[in-house]
Amino acid sequence: MTCNKEELYLKLQILNKTLWENKAYKKQIDRWLNNFIGTFNDNNDEKLHALYLLSLFMYFGHYQIRELLRSLYRDVFKYPIIARLRRENNDTKDLDLLEQKFIEELNKTRFLPIGNPSESGSHVLYYFRQENDLEKDLFINSHEIFTRDRNTGEVKLKNTDINRYIFIDDFCGSGHQAEEYSLNIVEDIIDNKKDVEIYYYTLFGSTDGLKHIKSKTKFIPKCIFELDESFKCFSVDSRYFYVNYTNIDKNFAESFCKEYGLRIAPIYPLGYDNSQLLIGFSHNIPDNTLPIIWGESLQDEIVPMFKRYHKL
């Protein structure tokens, strides 16, 4: 069985109209394909493999992100608390009692972003509040956790009644950013209140990144969409090459992605920390995604398929 460009274009047209928010129209795809000029092999082979990889790209638009944020609150936060409260109250079926006790738990919780106010953690936290109809007072910045004694300089918790801090992010790749937060903020919280619960919630997270957070930080990580080894494009367990197309070769795809990736991101030509992902969001594309998707260079006349907004 062979893979042909016409079928791939048709699939991309459907994806563009239904899921990709019209960000991948044919003219843009053709401009992007002009990046691949046969430098490392016949340009028809390069373009076919580029189209094939693009057809497997997972794009989560504005609507999907908001739905996932609802699920994050409902399934990861609220329902487990309700289940615990029911057990603690003799398996009660009194919904009014459970709702009252849940509100008490909610009022002792604070939600915070990962990263500074200009990063995606704050961006998704805004939608998280909207979609779940939460009061503004439940949201704080990290500097609002502590207060400093003017006389002794000692750092203490500003509100000792808070039992649970939840840091929210859109994507966890390596887990290194969460580790930095744990060292700089989380451990200080625990030093002041031993029984406090501190969670790291993310919409998407790599298995390796979540393991890193669990082993290297004081966070309790929770995730909606876990990206295991099969989401790593060229891994042994890759989900992207299970169909035996006679003209699609995983080794060739990896080689040409790496060679073009070196022009865009020399340190990580297959994505940050060699993540090899094919994932993007309406608000940005993670650098863990293959650079051939988001890379651009005026000098080399490279245009992105989906634009990435870098941290400068």
Q: Give the pLDDT mean for 257-267.
A: 92
Are 185 and 236 members of one domain? no
- Is the model's pLDDT at 117 over the cut of 70? no
Is 301 among the domain residues?
no
pLDDT at residue 55, rounded to an integer: 97
pLDDT at residue 181, rounded to an integer: 79
pTM of the predicted protein model: 0.92
Is 127 among the domain residues?
yes
Q: Give the pLDDT mean for 182-198.
A: 91
pLDDT at residue 182, rounded to an integer: 82
Name the band, by pLDDT with cuts 50, 70 and 90, for residue 148.
confident
- Is the model's pLDDT at 89 over the cut of 90? yes
Query: How many angstroms separate the most distant Cα atoms in the chain?
Result: 76
- Is the model's pLDDT at 298 over the cut of 70? no
Are 52 and 138 members of one domain? no
| Rounded percentage of the chain residues whose pLDDT exceeds 90 | 80
- Is the model's pLDDT at 113 over the cut of 80? yes
- Is the model's pLDDT at 118 over the cut of 80? no
Quote the CA–CA distance of 278 and 57 in Å, as a whole number. Answer: 5
Is 24 among the domain residues?
yes
Is 221 among the domain residues?
yes
Is 303 among the domain residues?
no
The per-residue pLDDT for range 29-73, each reduced to its tens digit, is 999 999 998 877 777 799 999 999 999 999 999 999 999 999 999
The per-residue pLDDT for range 163-180, each reduced to its tens digit, is 999 999 999 999 988 898
Are 149 and 201 members of one domain? yes
Are 222 and 262 members of one domain? no
CATH number reported for the structural domain that contains residue 146 in this entry: 3.40.50
Are 277 and 205 members of one domain? no
Nearest to residue 198, comparing CAs of 170, 163, 173, 172? 163
Are 252 and 283 members of one domain? yes
Last residue of a domain, one of 211, 227, 243: 227
Last residue of a domain, one of 227, 248, 269: 227
Is 96 among the domain residues?
no
Please give the backbone phi and psi of residue 73, each rounded to the nearest 5 degrees, phi first: -70, -50
The domain total for the chain is 2
Are 245 and 148 members of one domain? no
Are 144 and 206 members of one domain? yes
Name the band, by pLDDT with cuts 50, 70 and 90, for residue 115.
confident
Instruction: Indicate the burial class of 23 (C-beta count within 10 angstroms; 0-12, 13-18, 19 or more).
Output: middle
Quote the CA–CA distance of 139 and 101 in Å, as a whole number. Answer: 20
Give the domain range for residue 35. 5-59+231-294
Residue 15 and residue 60 in contact, taking contact as beta carbons nearer than 8 Å: no
- Is the model's pLDDT at 15 over the cut of 90? yes
| Rounded percentage of the chain residues whose pLDDT exceeds 70 | 98
Is 180 among the domain residues?
yes
Are 255 and 183 members of one domain? no
- Is the model's pLDDT at 233 over the cut of 90? yes
- What's the whole-number average pLDDT of the chain? 93
- Is the model's pLDDT at 273 over the cut of 80? yes
- Is the model's pLDDT at 280 over the cut of 80? yes
Quote the CA–CA distance of 263 and 265 in Å, as a whole number. Answer: 6
pLDDT at residue 153, rounded to an integer: 78
Are 44 and 126 members of one domain? no
The per-residue pLDDT for range 127-140, each reduced to its tens digit, is 999 999 999 999 99
Is 112 among the domain residues?
yes
